[in-house]
């Protein structure tokens, strides 16, 4: 780290974060594009106007949730659930930028601190101290909640699992569609072991009738990483068995039809593992699906035929050797 030496792929990610505000290099101008497929409008806060207190939540979508195609579907599912429950919320849209989490995990502390100070100033300017922030990415959640206070940014931050579980308890979200699937839940490291949020994601899954949950051997405080932690999401593994394949093998011991989690990186790593198993012929196409807890709850609230249509639309593309 003294030599600022990074794997090439990680170096590209850091440049993207610094220059475009997200690891993919998409840019802040497109951070609101995900709202276009919703049939309702989401207010966008304006820096300097301190409007945050007018809403129950500021929804921090995160980089993946705003620009990564797979993760955008989870952001849309979460927004739809909040809307269905009559929750008033707003977003930062093109004003939002990376929290700096991947930079700090890779040791680029200067870049992290620059982004942290910038985001704290932004959040204060929109009145985030007068409301609550909800984030569905555990990396964003952890950074906003536990690391920004070091930069005079003390906000009330909740993970989407905590908000959804409360809405279920209050009867504002009710699932009636019977899914009838064997399911196991994977604990994201930054949600579970770093913040001890274990019960609420399971509560969301258990609210859907017909699901048959079973736990992996390594779960909760004894959980096992998906392979993306510590910024490994942005680096290639070339030695030994890939961590995500180890975790997928552990999940498959339970013969699940559905693996659910609550993190964009975990979703990606688990889906990649399932795709590889399918390519190898270990699984048949569509035999095991990976969903965020918000997507599971959304399907549980749909009419059966509509849920089947969403399942087909959200299925990842099969990896080919060609």
pLDDT tops 90 at residue 186: yes
Q: Give the ranges where 143-198 is alpha helix by DSSP (H).
A: 160-169
Residue 302 has what pLDDT? 74
Q: What is d(CA 264, CA 258) in angstroms, rounded to the nearest whole number?
A: 16
Question: What is the tens place of the pLDDT at every residue in 285-306?
Answer: 999 999 999 999 999 997 554 5
pLDDT of amino acid 241:
81
Does pLDDT of 234 surpass 80? no
Q: How sure is the predictor about 230, in pLDDT bands with cuts at 50, 70 and 90?
A: low
Per-position DSSP letters for 55-76, written without gaps between them: SSEEEE-HHHHHH-HHHHHHHH
- Residue 322 binned pLDDT confidence (cut-offs 50, 70, 90): very low
Domain spanning 174-314: which CATH class is it, in words? alpha beta
pLDDT at res. 313: 56
- Structural class in CATH, domain 8-165: alpha beta
With tokens 């809307």, the residue in question is 83
pLDDT in tens, 235-283: 566 656 888 999 999 999 999 999 999 999 999 999 999 999 999 999 9
Tokens for 174? 């009710």
Structural domain boundaries of the chain? 8-165, 174-314
Query: Are 254 and 182 spatial neighbours (Cβ–Cβ below 8 Å)?
Result: yes
Condensed to tens digits (0 to 9), the pLDDT of residues 9-54 reads 678 889 999 999 999 999 999 999 999 999 999 999 999 999 999 9
Q: Between 314 and 261, whose confidence is greater?
A: 261
Rg of the chain over Cα atoms, rounded to whole angstroms, equals 19
Q: What rounded mean pLDDT belongs to the chain?
A: 91
pLDDT at 227 > cutoff 90: no
Q: What is the spatial distance between Cα 79 and Cα 43, in angstroms, rounded to a whole number?
A: 12
Dist. CA 301–CA 162, nearest whole Å: 18
Domains 8-165 and 174-314 are alike in CATH topology: yes
pLDDT of the residue at 220: 96
Q: What is the mean pLDDT of residues 304-313?
A: 53
Q: What angle do CA 139, 89, 64 make, to 5 degrees?
A: 30
* pLDDT band, residue 114 (cuts 50/70/90): very high
Residue 318: per-residue pLDDT: 42
C-alpha dihedral sign at 99, 103, 106, 110: negative
Sequence-ordered alpha helix ranges (H) in the chain: 8-20, 62-67, 69-84, 101-105, 109-125, 138-142, 160-169, 199-206, 243-252, 264-279, 293-300, 304-314
């Amino acid at each position: 780290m003294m030599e600022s030496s990074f794997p090439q792929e990680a170096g590209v990610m850091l440049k993207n974060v610094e220059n475009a505000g997200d690891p993919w290099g998409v840019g802040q101008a497109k951070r609101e594009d995900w709202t276009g497929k919703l049939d309702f409008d989401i207010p966008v806060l304006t820096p300097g106007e301190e409007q945050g207190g007018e809403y129950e939540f500021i929804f921090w979508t995160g980089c993946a949730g705003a620009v990564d195609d797979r993760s955008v579907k989870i952001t849309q599912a979460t927004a739809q659930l909040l809307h269905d429950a009559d929750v008033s919320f707003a977003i930062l849209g093109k004003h939002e930028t990376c929290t700096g989490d991947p930079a700090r995990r890779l040791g680029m502390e200067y870049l992290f601190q620059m982004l942290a100070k910038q985001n704290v100033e932004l959040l204060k300017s929109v009145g985030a101290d007068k409301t609550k922030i909800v984030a569905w990415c555990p990396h964003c959640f952890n950074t906003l909640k536990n690391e920004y206070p070091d930069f005079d940014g003390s906000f009330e931050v909740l993970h989407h699992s905590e908000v959804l579980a409360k809405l279920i308890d209050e009867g504002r979200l009710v699932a009636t569609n019977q899914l009838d699937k064997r399911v196991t839940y994977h604990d994201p490291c930054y949600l579970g072991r770093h913040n001890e949020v274990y019960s609420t994601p399971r509560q969301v899954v258990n609210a859907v009738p017909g699901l048959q949950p079973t736990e992996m051997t390594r779960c909760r405080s004894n959980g096992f990483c998906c392979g993306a932690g510590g910024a490994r999401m942005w680096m290639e593994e070339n030695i030994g068995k890939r961590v995500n394949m180890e975790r997928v093998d552990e999940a498959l011991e339970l013969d699940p039809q559905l693996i659910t989690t609550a993190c964009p990186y975990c979703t990606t790593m688990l889906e990649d593992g399932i795709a590889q198993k399918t390519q190898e012929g270990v699984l048949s196409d569509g035999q095991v699906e990976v969903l965020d807890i918000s997507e599971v709850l959304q399907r549980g609230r749909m009419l059966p035929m509509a849920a089947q249509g969403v399942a087909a639309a959200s299925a990842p593309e099969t990896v080919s050797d060609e």
